[in-house]
Amino acid sequence: MRSDLDHLMGERNIDVLVIEGPDGMGSANPAFNYFVKGEHLVGLVVKKRGEPAILIHSPWEQVQAEKTGMVLVSRDRWSIREIEQDFPDPFDATVEHRRRMLADLGVSGRVGLYGTVPIGPFFALWMALAQKIPGLELVAEPQKDVISQARLTKSSDEIELMRDVGRRTCVVVQAVVDFIAAGRAEGDTVVDAHGTPITIGAVKAFMRRELAANNLEDPSGTIFAQGRDAGLPHATGDEAAQLKLGQAIVFDIFPRQAGGGYFHDMTRTFAIGHASADLQELYDTVKGSFEHVLGELEAGGPTIAFQKLTCQYFEARGHETIATKYPIEEGYIHSLGHGIGLEVHENIRFPSTIDSGDVIVPGCVFTLEPGLYYPSRNMGVRLEDTVYCRPDGSIESLTPFPMELVIPLRG
Amino acid sequence: MRSDLDHLMGERNIDVLVIEGPDGMGSANPAFNYFVKGEHLVGLVVKKRGEPAILIHSPWEQVQAEKTGMVLVSRDRWSIREIEQDFPDPFDATVEHRRRMLADLGVSGRVGLYGTVPIGPFFALWMALAQKIPGLELVAEPQKDVISQARLTKSSDEIELMRDVGRRTCVVVQAVVDFIAAGRAEGDTVVDAHGTPITIGAVKAFMRRELAANNLEDPSGTIFAQGRDAGLPHATGDEAAQLKLGQAIVFDIFPRQAGGGYFHDMTRTFAIGHASADLQELYDTVKGSFEHVLGELEAGGPTIAFQKLTCQYFEARGHETIATKYPIEEGYIHSLGHGIGLEVHENIRFPSTIDSGDVIVPGCVFTLEPGLYYPSRNMGVRLEDTVYCRPDGSIESLTPFPMELVIPLRG
């Protein structure tokens, strides 16, 4: 939680956090959004240990800046116009502007760098600053950095936002199911009321409208993968393909609150009209693994234990897994889940090999997503909820949506 | 254009471009999207001078990788599983994996770094690689880097995509105008068919659905600013505020093709039902400046000349401008436009002070957006098209939408 930041900074002997918020990043800048709470603005956050975070913002974005509730400083406090008189090269002027800002704000010592940036200009900027500011020691945390660790545990306010996104994501998935169910069969193809075959592209276009209507941002990369593609975990689906009866369809959707908010991530596997006994069996096995592991999850448990448990469950039922074969293309081929919040993938990993040391802690939110993949049999099944470890250690799914394989056609 | 890359690399003595494509960046990673053409995947592009670009991708994303048309190498060619045996720390393993990859691909010499990344982990990664790879010299271009310069001029394929996004953006703006026009007046408030006041939030919700229906991504930060907010260039509008008759409304919308494609940027200023003589005069002045400058634009012209021309136009009509006063809060307070493409703001600046040396060149696309702002009078006007300098040097607007101040109510 945000309130852990000072403690985490102390543990790592970091004096100041500097979080970059350059133009054009939007929701791809979770560290910055964590401070500005999704307000759309360009700026820089400076947080010294034991002090409130300061937002340096454009005077044009005063309205958005005020909504963050942060301590505000206008970047015009350091006149770029004046600096440009002495530093005609725009890059030199940028460095000098930043140098004056950091000097006036007393930024020195061990300074941790965070935020999403274009790599070239910010490498150049910070290398130049490191030469110009005496006593500045840059800290580039490669993994599990201070801000990610704070974000690992969600406050009750954040959980309310995540529950809400979960509910609305389920509304969208239900609408998509209803859209498909309104079709009818013509041979092995699903057609709409006009007799036109329904394509995956049409399903996705419908989904995008429903996401917008529910104030969710369309996640590029939504998976709606049918048949063989369902057996390839990251195939997103062929937009031109028509919906076919009885085929496995993996529908993996991970929208976020519009404007840089929290993500939800869920997957259901469907078959339209009917399912073969083979596919139903595969489905039941994955559903069984999901329920088994969900029941075993507990606060304090190392994530690797649940990854292993899932592998054991599948292996006992005759499926190869990533625990015993690598690279692996069929069977259970990936890890069990990932942390989720302001990023769709964030801290907490369920490592498939070497232990990352991650543990399920009260307040964390992560996905649980076992799956079995058989592209050679033109099928794959994955089931996924976003789940929350409550402060009391109990586990709550944030994905109120049933797991049913077959979508009966009503049209 | 892409075909300029080798020439640009030669000019700057850069041997290899490395473009990072980490998880979660989406359309915030224009340099990477320039190569993978908006395909949703995680990876790394390596381009040596005189050779085609190579995409190192996840084997799970083979389908998307093939769609890029690039030379492909699976990242599993270097076994992370094997590396983890010798490098149990995940960061050390990442560095070693990358080191082997770069060694095998022959990446050495002057290596330019590009792409959008979380700053900490990638600082750490490249600092570690610089120590481990003999003869590696990192080039962090602070501005107008090789890829941005290639992107400055658009190919005919890119222009077709940009024309198409422009047309669809205008369809959305027209739908919003029609949505408002269907309302009726109740006192000074605009109400819908049920008599409910229409809020800015309702307008934006309608706009989001129309964007989705037109396969455009919702740009966080769309401006729909009324009254005093219209006088603050970056105020996005108070969602709770009701639409009022006769108030200046600045509507600035900059969506992109869904999935990391090209942006369009346009602004219209409206008044619902009627406009005061004051507001109409301000509107006519901004429209006059727009038409005047559009007529003067020409290939080879330095951008600063058109910024100055705009200031002169406004000053001759009694408005203060950024050319003569800084900081400035009322009058013409910003620059004339910006390059646009895979970023909403990219190369080509119209500098308000020191000359950036930018010149309008055939193939470039930029916005033209003069405006006048008077928050003290509760009004502001901005008008903006996205314009293209054709190969023959003539100028074409990509924004087929009229400039009319008043939206008459039909309801």
Q: What ipTM goes with this model? A: 0.89
Using the predicted structure, report yes or no on whether residue B387 has a pLDDT greater than 90.
yes
- Are B322 and B203 found together in one domain? yes
Torsional sign, CA B332, B337, B338, B343:
positive
- Are A75 and A146 found together in one domain? yes
Going by the DSSP 8-state scheme, the letter that residue B325 receives in this structure is -
CB contact under 8 A, A81 and B353: yes
Top residue of B75, B123, B146 to mutate, by most chain A CBs within 10 Å, is B123
Nearest residue of B to residue A201, measured between CA atoms: B215
- Are A308 and A212 found together in one domain? yes
CB contact under 8 A, A113 and B127: no
CB contact under 8 A, B215 and A209: no
- Are A146 and A157 found together in one domain? no
What contacts A281, CB < 8 A, 6 or more positions away? Answer: none
Strands (E) across A197-273 are located at: 216-217, 223-226, 249-253, 256-257, 266-272
Nearest residue of A to residue B141, measured between CA atoms: A120
Q: What is the pTM of this model?
A: 0.90
Q: Residue A399: phi, psi to the nearest 5?
A: -120, 85
pLDDT, averaged across chain A: 94
Q: What pLDDT, in 10s, does the model give residues A220-239?
A: 789 999 999 999 987 889 99
Q: What pLDDT, in 10s, does the model give residues A309-359?
A: 999 999 999 999 999 988 889 999 999 999 999 999 999 999 877 777 899
Q: What pLDDT, in 10s, does the model give residues B346-371?
A: 999 998 777 778 999 999 999 999 99
Q: How far is the alpha carbon of B288 from chain A, nearest alpha carbon, in Å?
A: 25
Buried b (16+ CB within 10 A) or exposed e, A260-294: bbbbbbbbbbbbbbebeeebeebbebbbebbeebe
- Are B83 and B145 found together in one domain? yes
Three-state SS at B109: strand
From A120, A150, A180, give the residue that closes a domain.
Answer: A150
From A101, A131, A150, give the residue that closes a domain.
Answer: A150
From the list A124, A141, A211, the residue facing B212 with the nearest CB is: A211
- Are B260 and B127 found together in one domain? no
Which of A70, A44, A38 lies closest to A57 in space, CA to CA? A44
d(CA B145, CA B155): 19
Q: How far is the alpha carbon of A11 from chain B, nearest alpha carbon, in Å?
A: 18
Q: What pLDDT, in 10s, does the model give residues B119-176?
A: 999 999 999 999 999 999 999 999 899 999 999 999 999 999 999 999 999 999 999 9
CB contact under 8 A, A23 and B142: no
From A150, A165, A185, give the residue that closes a domain.
Answer: A150
Q: How far is the alpha carbon of A392 from chain B, nearest alpha carbon, in Å?
A: 31
Query: What count of other Cβ atoms lies within 10 Å of the Cβ of residue B256?
Result: 25
- Are A72 and A178 found together in one domain? no
- Are B262 and B185 found together in one domain? yes
> Confidence class of residue A372 from pLDDT cuts 50, 70 and 90?
very high
From the list B27, B120, B218, the residue facing A113 with the nearest CB is: B120
- Are A252 and A394 found together in one domain? yes
More confident residue, B221 or A113: A113
At residue B277, the pLDDT reads 97
- Are B191 and B49 found together in one domain? no
On whether the CB atoms of residues B333 and B343 are closer than 8 A, the answer is no
Return the CATH number at B252: 3.90.230.10
Q: Domain range holding B306?
A: 153-407
Cis peptide before A233 (omega within 30 of 0): no
From the list B114, B120, B123, the residue facing A120 with the nearest CB is: B114
- Are A162 and A95 found together in one domain? no
d(CA B361, CA B364): 6
- Which CB contacts under 8 angstroms, 24+ apart, belong to A284-292? A285/A314, A285/A317, A285/A319, A285/A372, A285/A381, A286/A370, A286/A371, A286/A372, A286/A381, A286/A382, A286/A383, A287/A383, A287/A403, A288/A313, A289/A313, A289/A314, A289/A370, A290/A368, A290/A370, A290/A383, A290/A385, A290/A403
At residue B346, the pLDDT reads 92
At residue B242, the pLDDT reads 97
On whether the CB atoms of residues A381 and A352 are closer than 8 A, the answer is no
Query: What count of other Cβ atoms lies within 10 Å of the Cβ of residue A87?
Result: 17
**List of chain B residues whose C-beta atoms are within 8 Å of the C-beta of residue A127:** 140
- Are B12 and B123 found together in one domain? yes
Residue with tokens 């915030």: B28
Please state the domain count of chain A: 2
CB contact under 8 A, B220 and A260: yes
Which of A100, A102, A101 lies closest to A111 in space, CA to CA? A102
At residue A24, the pLDDT reads 86
Using the predicted structure, report yes or no on whether residue B285 has a pLDDT greater than 80.
yes
CB contact under 8 A, B123 and A143: no
Return the CATH number at A9: 3.40.350.10
Name residue B408's amino acid. P
d(CA B146, CA B356): 17
Using the predicted structure, report yes or no on whether residue A295 has a pLDDT greater than 90.
yes
From the list B113, B127, B234, the residue facing A119 with the nearest CB is: B113
